Chain A
Amino acid sequence: MVEVDNLTRRYGDIVAISGVTFQAREGEILGFLGKNGAGKTTTMRIMTGFMPASSGTVRIGGADIRTASLEARRQIGYLPETAPVYDDMSVAAYLAFCANLRHVPPKEVPTRVEQAMRSVHIDERRSWQIGKLSKGLRRRVGLAQALVHNPRVLILDEPTEGLDPEQIIEIRNLILGLRGDHTIILSTHILSEAQMLADRIVIIDRGVVVAVDTTENLTHAVQQTDRLRVQVDGPARDVEARLRSLAGVREVTRLEGAPPRFMLEGDRETDLRASLAETIVKAGWGLLELERVEATLEDVFLQITAQSRTNGRAPTSDAAPEPPDALETTSNPTDESEEVSA
């Protein structure tokens, strides 16, 4: 549905993105994950035809965004990062304006406007002036304008940025509700958001795509060992020595806490849990906690981006003007346990 091939964009000597290549399949949600300044917005602006690429091609439903621009743009609904809508217009008038611009047949405009307002639950504010709406409602209007012409492809640039937790949940649910009917490409720097919404994830770092796959495959690829967290009510040294002696254990790390807690790393092929429990019980200690620790998307992100930097795949250091701590890792208001902690 969307084919991005070898996209490069330079600003003078600075390379913003380089060789960006990926595809989005019909009906899927593709998460575009990267730190602030990684090149997400630049890529999206090129994909929507707002700015030209220095080289490379984008095809939307087979139409090239440069050579068949109008045909390609007709299939796109785009929500820019700041949802820049006209403050002086009412919600309904603004959506009708967008529908008219995007070749919705005149007779269908009122119906399409109504449907778009309902799909983002803003129909009760139809006659409100947009400038008087809250940030969350404005974002919803932004989403409604992207939907009003029923496009095949939705491109959403950080759709939950700057919203409060309640609004974030609303927008995420809205996006999940659109899955299947539209091909959705959404950018985010929030790992949990990408994990929750996207079928597949594209990781971009300093203007270069470093990974494209499902969350499961990415975490599986990154996780080289089986990790267990265990808390035992017993003498720390003896427990540690006993854990090390277990067959299949590669590494034991003492964690903070009392009674003592440990992180075990073992072979992926061996399930250590049964033998570990048996050993501790036989020794007469109490097994307080035993949990398998899966790799998080944050682990994936950090490992993949670190690898790419070691391999020297990133184009120039200038391409990432944002500070390295710009990656947000704890912003999932729906479920605290899904947060990825640093």
Chain B
Amino acid sequence: MRAIRTIAEREFRALITAPLGYVVILFFLLVSAVFFVAPLQRGLAHMRMVVGNTTIWLVFLLPAITMRLLAEEKKQGSIEILMTSPVTETQVVLGKYLGALGYYLVMLFSTFQFVFALAWVRKSQVSAFFPTYVGLILVAVTLVLLALAALRESRVLGLVTAVSAVSTLICVGFAMHQMGEWGPALTGYIGLLLIGATFLAIGLMTSALTRNQIIAWVSTAAILLGLTVLIGWMAEQLPGQLPVKEANADVGATLKFAVNMVVYGLVQVLKALSLQEYLQNFAMGVLDLRDLVLYLSLIAASLFFAVRGLTTSRWT
């Protein structure tokens, strides 16, 4: 457990202090802001707009974070020092994964300002307005404190950051409550967390299979694009209704029925794998156990293959 925590802390700090980490968070904020402002202009003031539309950007942004996790270690040779220490491959993979997940939580945290901004937009409906202002300030303060704590490697600053983050969360709760969007906003964030966690696990898996970061980035983005957009698009193009067998059908009609059944089965599988579809559920406030199972299964399978990839890369 100590090894996992040590590796996770190192990875989190490396991501938070690296220029790439800043660029990814800033870009993510920028695109989230666009998706936040655009519906507002049409008079739609809901968190689900932010939640639903940011996924496609995560497809490209999160692989940039995961590509270096193991590929860079292998390229630079620092994996030799790591793997000759008394730690197992599973501990390394879990540590790296939790570090990246921590970074992703900071990404999500930075979007809380939209929650406060939305509460401000709807101020006519808001009775207690104080937490909104405080919350907006707290988000900024927490992010600055976090960067300082990571750069100066200070535990005291880290503790202050944690206190600030918890205070922000309490304010977010107030703001959501005042907007009457408790459910959809919360499940939306749970959805974003799960889909991001899945993307990170898949990214870590490809990073474990190569020593080239560009290959890791491109292949992860390709897999994620397939799981989110392409599968959904293919499922839409194919007929989605259960075929009915005609009475007294001849050989040709029976054959056609069989083909349609296969296509129908395929569409169902594709639909089941389309992550975007599940995210819509979360954005609308629906928390389905099946969605949770799918995400967790994908995470577990990806991490398993990451461990296997790391093991075999040392054998060759």
> Which A residues form the contact surface with B (CB < 8 A)?
11, 45, 48-52, 70-71, 73-74, 76, 78, 80, 82, 84-86, 88-90, 93, 97-98, 100-103, 145
Number of interface residues of B (CB under 8 A): 25
Taking the nearest CB of chain B, how far is it from the CB of A296, in angstroms?
Answer: 33
Task: Check B212 for interface membership: any CB of A closer than 8 A.
Answer: no
Residue of B nearest to A69 (CB): B86
Taking the nearest CB of chain A, how far is it from the CB of B14, in angstroms?
Answer: 5
Q: Which residues of A contact B316 (CB under 8 A)?
A: 11
In angstroms, Cα B77 to Cα A48, docked, is 14
In angstroms, Cα B85 to Cα A71, docked, is 10
In angstroms, Cα B80 to Cα A86, docked, is 12
In angstroms, Cα B315 to Cα A198, docked, is 31
Is A78 in contact with B10, judged by CB distance below 8 angstroms? no
Is B81 in contact with A145, judged by CB distance below 8 angstroms? yes
Is B88 in contact with A88, judged by CB distance below 8 angstroms? no
Q: Which residues of B contact A89 (CB under 8 A)?
A: 10, 13-14
Chain B 79-135 residues near chain A, CB threshold 8 A: 80-88
Q: Which residues of A contact B76 (CB under 8 A)?
A: 84
Residue of A nearest to B72 (CB): A86
Taking the nearest CB of chain B, how far is it from the CB of A81, in angstroms?
Answer: 8
B77 contact from A82, A88, A93, A103, Cβ within 8 A: A82
Task: Check B241 for interface membership: any CB of A closer than 8 A.
Answer: no
Is B17 in contact with A88, judged by CB distance below 8 angstroms? yes
B14 contact from A52, A82, A86, A103, Cβ within 8 A: A86
Taking the nearest CB of chain B, how far is it from the CB of A228, in angstroms?
Answer: 49
In angstroms, Cα B18 to Cα A76, docked, is 31
Is A80 in contact with B3, judged by CB distance below 8 angstroms? no
In angstroms, Cα B84 to Cα A249, docked, is 56
Q: Chain B: interface secondary structure?
A: helix
Is B10 in contact with A86, judged by CB distance below 8 angstroms? yes
Chain B 1-45 residues near chain A, CB threshold 8 A: 2-3, 6-7, 10, 13-14, 17-18
A and B contact pairs by CB, cutoff 8 A, 26 listed: A48-B80, A49-B84, A50-B84, A50-B314, A52-B314, A70-B88, A73-B85, A73-B86, A76-B84, A80-B77, A84-B76, A84-B77, A84-B80, A85-B81, A86-B10, A88-B17, A93-B153, A97-B6, A100-B6, A101-B82, A101-B86, A101-B87, A102-B85, A102-B86, A103-B2, A145-B81
Is A52 in contact with B315, judged by CB distance below 8 angstroms? yes
Is A51 in contact with B78, judged by CB distance below 8 angstroms? no
A50-B80, A71-B86, A86-B14 given. 18 additional CB < 8 A pairs? A11-B316, A45-B80, A52-B314, A70-B86, A70-B88, A73-B84, A76-B84, A84-B78, A88-B17, A88-B18, A93-B153, A97-B10, A100-B6, A101-B6, A101-B85, A102-B86, A103-B2, A145-B81
Residue of A nearest to B87 (CB): A101
Taking the nearest CB of chain B, how far is it from the CB of A93, in angstroms?
Answer: 5
In angstroms, Cα B14 to Cα A98, docked, is 15
A51 contact from B10, B13, B315, Cβ within 8 A: B315
Residue of B nearest to A65 (CB): B84
Residue of A nearest to B76 (CB): A84
Q: Which residues of A contact B10 (CB under 8 A)?
A: 86, 89, 97
Is B81 in contact with A78, judged by CB distance below 8 angstroms? yes
